Structure 1
Amino acid sequence: MATRLLRPLMPAVLAACGLWLAVSPARAGLFDDDEARRAILDLRAKISQNEQLIKQQADQIQSLQNGLLDLGNQNEQLRTDLAKLRGQDEQMLRDMADLQRTMRDLQAGLNDRMRKLEPQPVTVDGKTFTVDPEEKAAFEDAMNSLRGGDFDRATTSLNSLLKRYPSTGYGDSARYWLGNAQYGQRDYKGSLATFKAFLAAAPDHPRAAEAMLAIANCQAELKDTKAAKRTLEDLIKRYPQSEAAHAAKERLVALK
């Protein structure tokens, strides 16, 4: 009974089964294509991501390379600047050394000039005193003229010294040598007055005895024999142990 009932339906069932069987491979093919497409899309997405990563890494590498290049350039610039600084330091040291030498030379020159301007101690005829450099130079110049036989110049220089420096320590010696310069000029009256002024100011001077002998000579040249004899006799009494006293004794014999 059931069999009879199912028989009319069998063709339809078989047809449906056939249709399902016919459709199933197509659907399976469709499913395979979708998965392939998805796999391809996924693969493309991964490739794109990888390409982006690679590009990012390449950009980072390029940035690092650029940074290293900049750093190298900076290092080179630093080396150049350092070399310049070293050169400047060396030049500065040389300049400082030159400046120090110049300062030392200037200081030495200044010290020399100051010494020339400072009063200087001198000793003349056993007497020590302090004189200005110009004062000393004036006296030495006059003495050089006297030694050279230039009595006119020596007389002028000694007179100028005594007028310019009335309190000079050279005063006694200057007057003594002025008397000699005048005697060399044959200015016997002037020489006589100068020697007398010398003796009045410095009776104990080491050259006092010689001055008295010079006075006697001036008196003799002026034909004042009596005065010359008195002077010689006074010389022998006042300075008996001097060489001038021995000369005076000889001179007295000549005058007699």
Structure 2
Amino acid sequence: MKLKAALLASVLALTTMPALAQTAMPDPLDDRSVKRLDKMEKVVRELRAIVFQGRDTGKPVVVQAAETDAQISALSDQLKDLEQTLTRLNGQNETLTHDLDVARRANDSEKARADALDQRLAALEKRLADQEAAAAAAVAAPPAAPAAPVAAANDPAAAFKSARQLLLDGDYGGAEQAFAGYVATYPDSAKAPEARYWLGETQFVREAYGDAAGNYLGAVRGWPQTSWAPDAVLKLSRSLVALKKPADACKTLDELAKRYPKAPAAVTSKAATTRAQAKCAA
């Protein structure tokens, strides 16, 4: 009760202030004083409300402290922190969006490359399938009948001439068959060694070096003194080099120089090149 009486006395005393305030002040209030006065009046009104509440209700009065400048400052700081956090999150979101766009473009590029590779692979598979089908058809087709020399059974000269003409015409396959038929039919004829030489030429052209070497060797057996013999020995050595037999090739080149010292310049020049390929001793 004493507390209530004291509060009531304070309120009544403060209520008399308006009468005093009517006295003229020597100087007008500055802004700061006005704010302080407003704040004091607010406190007085709150105190009056508290006193009347306690008097009228008889219940304990709960006084709640008004918000202070420190609380306002704290709320302002929290607001600033929230704004900074929001700014940071926006920046992170923009970064993630940019990274996502980059990843999406990279994925689109890889997909385009994969599609291009699939198309190339499909094209290659188709070409391979076509080639396999063509090869199967060639195997299934009956072999062409070998070009028999004209009057081969009765005229060796005509048979040789026919085979030679095929070679001059560029029909190496037909020439090979014709010369092989001549050698098989007329193994003891005077033209048989030369037929072997030309047969070796058709095989050398298609890189059948094993068969070519055998026919060149048969052609030069006895070291004939003919215009084609030096070239046959040279081609024999070149076939041996291709067959990875450099020692035999070097021996053949030695015989070439020994047996045909007057070989054409084209033959000796190629022989020197072949000797270097075979790494023959000087």
Q: Which has the higher helix share?
A: 1
- Fold shared per TM-score above 0.5: no
Task: State the TM-score bracket (shorter-chain normalisation).
Answer: 0.3 to 0.5
